[in-house]
Amino acid sequence: MPAKPNAERGIGPKYAKVPPPSGIKDLPRYLNELLSGFFSRFAYIISLVWNTGHWILLVMSLIALLQGLIPVFSSIISKDIINALQTSLGTGKESEFFQSNVFMLLCFFFLIQVLSRIIGSISGAVHRIAGEKVVKQVKSMIMEKSKEIDLASFDQVSFYEKLENANREAGNRPIQILSQVFSMISTVIQLVSYAAIMIAAPNLWWSILVIAAVSIPSALINFVYRRKNFNYVWRRSKDRRQMNYCSDILVNKDLVKEIRMFDLGDEFTGRYKKVFTSYYKGLVKLILDENIWHTVIAIVTSVSSLVLYAAIAIKVFTGKILIGDYTLYTSAITSISFSISSLINNSATIYEGTLFIDNLISFMNEKATIVPRLSKPKTVTHGTAHTIEFKNVSFKYPDTEKYVLKNINLFFRPGETVVLVGLNGAGKTTLIKLLTRLYDPTEGEILLDGVNLKDYDVKDLYRMFGIIFQDFGKYAVTVGENIHFGDIARSYDLDEIMDAAKKSNASDYIDKLPDTYDTPLMRFFEPNGLELSIGQWQKLAISRAFYSQSDVLILDEPTASLDPMAEQEIFNQFDSLRKDKTTIFVSHRLSSATVASLIVVLENGSVIEQGDHLELMAKRGKYYELFSTQAKRYITEAEHINGEDI
């Protein structure tokens, strides 16, 4: 079944959900809803920039005022200079030029031009500086929001559409929109000033109506195509993400070896070009269609300007006005026409920009559900052992119908060592995600010390766990910082970090590194950044767990890339160091399960067996089958190796 369009899936900005007018009578309702949405988005932008820095709005307002008035004063002074020169010609007073008002007017004109250039330079600097600050503000907002959004959101396509659009547009859009708003203010000042000049001119007030009339079609075209452009960009978010994926994957350092060996470069390049061709085709059609309309309108506008210029020229020939007046009035007509066109273009661009800002608003309005359900959440008693209980817990991932876990009932005693066993896809990692409240159960409840996890403060709850996931983090910082991330709330203590590395056997290779614990990892930022093997990374991740002062240690396949001997050493270390801590392991190597006080066997999302090693071996069930098969393989491999040695 083909995927539903974004609008049908309820994805996208609010404005897209405004139903179009069903007829002329419905048009006021439609315009009201669109305009109310526009003004609410614009108010959001103003508050965003105001929170970034009050000075930005104040300075931009002053610049807009000056940029609106300077061209008008410049035109008036030019008119006075030309008229003064015209009236002095043939009077024999040319020698008195430097004593006349003309020289003073020229000085004023020069000063205004200098001021205009200075204001222009200041405006450019302010926009660049303000732009950087607003980008930082928006990126910080997105990062802060990402810290509180549910993990479940990252499993949904709609979330990535919001995130992609917010990241792509929202950083630069606010300052661009404000720049255009203040440019419009300057334009309005010029428009009103030049309109007043034309109204005061002898029988030329009608020229304003002509200019306004020919500008209306341009306004309609701009608004129609700004909306079409936004609709197109929003609908094709998937295409852009596919293009980004294909282009980024060829320069991904973790995949470059496989890409090269399997000769996948042409495959992903071809996929990029195919998606781009489709995306580009629609975009070009929009641009060409819009420009055809603008070309027709430009011809009509030029013809009307020619008629107006000719009408003013006739007044010069008949002696009704001077040449300086001609320059002022024609300049006024040109400026009025340009101002109206600029207002139309800017307002359409601002309208389009506010629609893109809706992507940021939509992202920022993403609601977290992994929050305490109590107004005064409970806090965890740290430094003690805890009981953990799953009661009739079932779970399915968002937007799916299949249950990953079904009717789980488990009880972990304080200080117990639990090993989760099962084939891939049995639900082991999902169970850990529920225990750590990265997700909430679809059904049932999980109790910590007899209290539902939902009653605890979430951050305080997370502090209780020391955890290493299968896809543990590899951070482009120093070795010491990678370990320190296990408990970032504590001050960086090299002795404690070295002790954690020793417990995970990571110190064996760290001590041989060029700068030991100050060695930068990964070649993202530092030229001497070191690339570790997957086994070395795993030992570093395990060091983080040792460094954390947590009450519950959780290791989800933490030793998958280690040899059996190294793995056993790690488990022995954990067994001696865990003291009264509850420890939960997920491991495919069942030799580690022999020391566990509780083994939980999962299959297809259900608990099919639980007990200690001896109990489960005596049952001769699934655990017995898995353990015996694995043990037999190890024995066969050992005999083969010994046979070769002989």
* Ramachandran category for residue 150: left, alpha or beta (phi over 0 → left; psi -120 to 50 → alpha): beta
Q: What pLDDT score was predicted for residue 10?
A: 39
| Measured distance CA(628)–CA(615) in Å, rounded | 14
Distance of alpha carbon 146 from alpha carbon 545, whole angstroms: 24
Q: Report the predicted TM-score, pTM, of the whole model to 2 decimal places.
A: 0.62
pLDDT score, position 3: 41
| Residues 351, 407 within the same domain | no
The pLDDT assigned to 78 comes to 77
Same domain, 119 and 239: yes
What are the φ and ψ backbone dihedral angles of 553, each rounded to 5 degrees? -100, 130
CA angle 461, 464, 466 (to 5 degrees): 125
293: exposed, middle or buried (C-beta count within 10 Å: 0-12, 13-18, 19+)? middle
SS3 84: helix
Which CATH number covers residue 145?
Answer: 1.20.1560.10
pLDDT along the chain (646 residues), means of 10: 40 47 56 64 79 82 83 79 68 53 75 83 81 80 78 70 66 73 81 80 76 73 74 79 82 68 77 86 84 79 76 76 76 76 73 72 80 88 87 87 91 89 84 90 92 90 82 84 86 90 88 90 81 83 83 76 64 64 80 82 90 89 84 54 45
Residue 376 belongs to a domain: no
Neighbour-count burial for 567-580, b at 16+ CB within 10 Å, e otherwise: bebbbebbeeeeee
Q: Which domain holds residue 501?
A: 473-549
392 and 281 in a single domain? The answer is no
In 3-state terms, what secondary structure has residue 646? coil
Quote the pLDDT of residue 639: 46
What is the predicted pLDDT for the residue at 16?
45
**Residue 30 has what pLDDT?**
52
pLDDT on residue 26: 56
CATH of the domain at 535: 3.40.50.300
The kind and range of the H/E element at 261 are helix 256-261
Domain shared by 417 and 291, yes or no: no
Do 560 and 536 share a domain, yes or no?
no
Residue 243 maps to a domain: yes
Residues 633, 496: one domain? no
Of 287, 279, 283, the C-alpha closest to 243 is: 279
Say what the pLDDT of residue 444 is.
93
Q: How many CA atoms lie within 13 A of 552 on its CB side?
A: 24
Do 523 and 606 lie in one domain? The reply is: no
Retrieve residue 592's tokens.
């580690």
Inter-CA distances, 392 with 421, 455, 564, Å: 19, 18, 36
**Burial label, 528 (beta-carbon count in 10 A; 0-12, 13-18, 19+):** exposed
| CA-only gyration radius of the chain, Å | 36
DSSP 100-142: SHHHHHHHHHHHHHHHHHHHHHHHHHHHHHHHHHHHHHHHHHH
Same domain, 511 and 559: no
Whether 74 and 182 share a structural domain: yes
Total number of domains constituting the chain: 3
**Are 507 and 580 in the same domain?**
no
Looking at 305, 330, 364, the residue that finishes a domain is: 364
